[in-house]
């Protein structure tokens, strides 16, 4: 019987800035998925719990310098098209590299009303210092297509 592996980390060459979760898109320029990820981890910080590529990453055999644990994953019940995001002021244009989801986008599409596909066990989450919430600070990072994307407010 083959050993079953889980995908718990996504590896990347550059470190993603330390702001909260990404949203991913399909090839139809529609936002379908929102993820919350951990801080960037370097080789040796990723648990070797059977995840695909975790051992190779920790051994430094991967090109990627940072790994990000997928802590939560939501599937949006209604996708948000690029055209709609621009018309509602969530974006000024098609995404370029990184951008963070503004609070207004999250308010228009509350995650507690979406399908929560993956939820990490609270004990496994790293303890993070809480800071005062800045209403201008984005909450989620967006990915429209292959490069990460997020709308400016």
- pLDDT tens digits for 93-110? 876 666 677 788 888 888
Could you give the 3-state DSSP secondary structure of residue 117?
Answer: strand
Contact of 143 with 24, CB cutoff 8 Å: yes
The answer on pLDDT for 21 being more than 50 is yes
152: in domain:
no
For tokens 């949006």, the residue is 76
pTM above 0.85, yes or no: no
Look at residues 148, 56, 51, 60 and name the one whose alpha carbon lies nearest to residue 96: 148
Is residue 19 assigned to a domain? yes
Please give the residue range of the domain that contains residue 18: 9-125+133-142
Q: Give 30's pLDDT tier (boundaries 50, 70, 90).
A: confident
DSSP state of 41: B
- Assigned domain for 151 exists: no
Confidence of residue 80 (pLDDT cuts 50, 70, 90): confident
Question: What contacts 50, CB < 8 A, 6 or more positions away?
Answer: 3, 4, 5, 6
pLDDT, position 122: 54
Asked if residue 31 is part of any domain, the answer here is yes
Q: How many domains does the chain have?
A: 1
Pair 3, 61: CB distance under 8 Å: no
């Amino acid at each position: 019987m083959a050993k079953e592996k889980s995908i718990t980390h996504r590896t990347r060459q550059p470190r993603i800035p330390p702001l909260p979760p990404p949203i991913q898109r399909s090839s139809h320029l529609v936002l379908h998925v929102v993820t919350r990820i951990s801080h960037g981890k370097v080789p040796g910080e990723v648990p070797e719990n059977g995840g695909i590529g975790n051992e190779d990453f920790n051994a430094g055999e991967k090109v990627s310098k940072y790994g990000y644990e997928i802590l939560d994953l939501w599937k949006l019940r209604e996708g948000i098209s690029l055209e709609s995001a621009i018309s509602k002021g969530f974006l000024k244009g098609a995404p370029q590299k990184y951008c963070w989801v503004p609070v207004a986008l999250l308010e228009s599409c509350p995650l507690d009303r979406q399908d929560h596909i993956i939820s990490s066990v609270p004990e496994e989450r790293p303890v993070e210092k809480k800071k005062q919430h800045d209403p201008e600070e984005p909450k989620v990072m967006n990915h429209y297509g292959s490069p990460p994307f997020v709308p400016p407010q």
